Amino acid sequence: MTVKLQFVAHAATSATTRMAFPAGESLARPELLEGFGIRALTAVCGPEPANVQTSKGLGLQPRVTTELADLQAGTWAGQAWEDLPLELLGPFLAGETPAPQGESLPDVVARVGSWLGEQQWGEGRTVVVASAMVVRASLVALLEMPMTLFHRLDVGPLTTAVLSGKNGRWNLQSLGPLSAGRLSSAR
């Protein structure tokens, strides 16, 4: 049986618009989700308000799971990337060090990849709503990509990635912006 997973990066928050580390923000403009919609047999999302709000704005009733939580940014939570010293940010972005009192990018990939690998995906499409960082981590994990490609995946607010898989082997079908007015089918 072939399984389809559709990942959707949550809509913009104050942190995504100013390129800051996540701090559990709500959506900046939830009304922008009007006209979007996704049909799915199953939906899951990360625990942050932006994920739940995006899911509901897309007409989904998701199961919330902490394993899809955004990067634990530690003391960097809420800070803009440009405000951090390059000697600290550079090794973090290279996956060499964690955020102070937080996670590293490889930690996020391992956490999310482990959870995704443990799931028994049913028939039809499952929609996963999470932060852009978690969507990237999911793609790196499921497609068995090297960490060096993490930042080469262009995932912004409301980017969607569709994967199909069978027997633990996944293929990327599409990666791009979610289209307003176009409903994705449940299959």
CA distance 133 to 64: 17
pLDDT averaged over every residue in the chain: 93
Per residue in 45-54, pLDDT tens? 999 999 999 9
Are the CB atoms for 95 and 104 separated by under 8 Å? yes
Is residue 137 pLDDT above 90, yes or no? yes
| Mean pLDDT, residues 89-108 taken together | 97
> What residues pair up with 82 in beta bridges, in sequence order?
none
Look at 36 and 159; give whichever has higher pLDDT: 159
Backbone angles phi, psi at 177, to 5 degrees: -70, 145
The dotted CATH code for 3-69+108-177 is 3.40.50.1240
Going from N- to C-terminal start, the domains of the chain cover 3-69+108-177
CA distance 168 to 107: 21
Are the CB atoms for 26 and 50 separated by under 8 Å? yes
Whose structure tokens read 């293929």?
171
**Confidence band of 179 (pLDDT split at 50, 70, 90):** confident
| Predicted pLDDT at 182 | 45
Instruction: Determine the length of the chain.
Output: 187
**Confidence band of 39 (pLDDT split at 50, 70, 90):** confident
**Confidence band of 180 (pLDDT split at 50, 70, 90):** low
| Mean pLDDT, residues 148-166 taken together | 95
**Confidence band of 183 (pLDDT split at 50, 70, 90):** very low
| Mean pLDDT, residues 87-104 taken together | 96
Which two three-digit tokens encode residue 18? 């100013």
**Confidence band of 37 (pLDDT split at 50, 70, 90):** confident
Angle (deg, nearest 10), helices 105-118 and 132-142: 70
Is residue 175 pLDDT above 60, yes or no? yes
**Confidence band of 13 (pLDDT split at 50, 70, 90):** very high
**Confidence band of 124 (pLDDT split at 50, 70, 90):** confident
